[in-house]
């Protein structure tokens, strides 16, 4: 050990980090990670072979996912627009009641809860919305 102010083996052992325990569980976890790595490597090799052998399938798959992304984007936009419309209607009814008017919502109507809808549009155009933050 290269400690400047250590003069005995015991002092060096006291300062050194404890040795890594190599237990049966450690070995089993390592073996499992190695198996998973082999599976991933084989999967990548087979996918590369498939891409080289069947480029038309690759093109079809890419177009399929492009269509799915467009449909999902359209569906999310429509859902956001619907939430905005519902919130505007609920707010208008609330303003009407506060001004002394008569609402067409019943007192126990669930549409009153639409006042609390989040209508912020903080998603970017290129977002894939994989976190499913929008309520559908």
Higher pLDDT, 6 or 78: 78
- Among 26-30, 33-37, 85-89, 129-133, which stretch is predicted with the lowest mean pLDDT? 129-133
Residue 115 CB contacts under 8 Å (≥ 6 apart), including other chains: 87, 90, 91, 94
Are 73 and 127 spatial neighbours (Cβ–Cβ below 8 Å)? no
pLDDT of residue 18: 75
pLDDT digits (tens, 9 = 90+) for 86-115: 889 888 888 888 888 888 888 888 887 888
| 136 pLDDT above the threshold of 50 | no
Residue 32 has pLDDT above 60, yes or no: yes
Q: Among candidates 133, 136, 93, which has minimal Cα distance to 113?
A: 93
More confident residue, 99 or 1: 99
């Amino acid at each position: 050990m290269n400690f400047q102010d250590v003069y005995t083996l015991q002092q060096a052992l006291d300062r050194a980090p404890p040795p890594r325990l190599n237990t049966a569980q450690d070995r089993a976890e390592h073996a499992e990670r190695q198996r998973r790595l082999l599976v991933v490597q084989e999967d990548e090799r087979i996918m590369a072979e498939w891409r080289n052998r069947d480029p038309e399938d690759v093109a079809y798959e890419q177009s399929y996912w492009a269509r799915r992304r467009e449909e999902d984007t359209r569906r999310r936009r429509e859902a956001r627009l619907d939430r905005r419309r519902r919130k505007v209607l609920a707010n208008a009814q609330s303003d009407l009641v506060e001004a002394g008017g008569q609402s067409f919502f019943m007192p126990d109507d669930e549409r009153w809860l639409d006042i609390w809808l989040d209508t912020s549009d903080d998603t970017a155009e290129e977002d894939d919305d994989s976190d499913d933050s929008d309520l559908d």
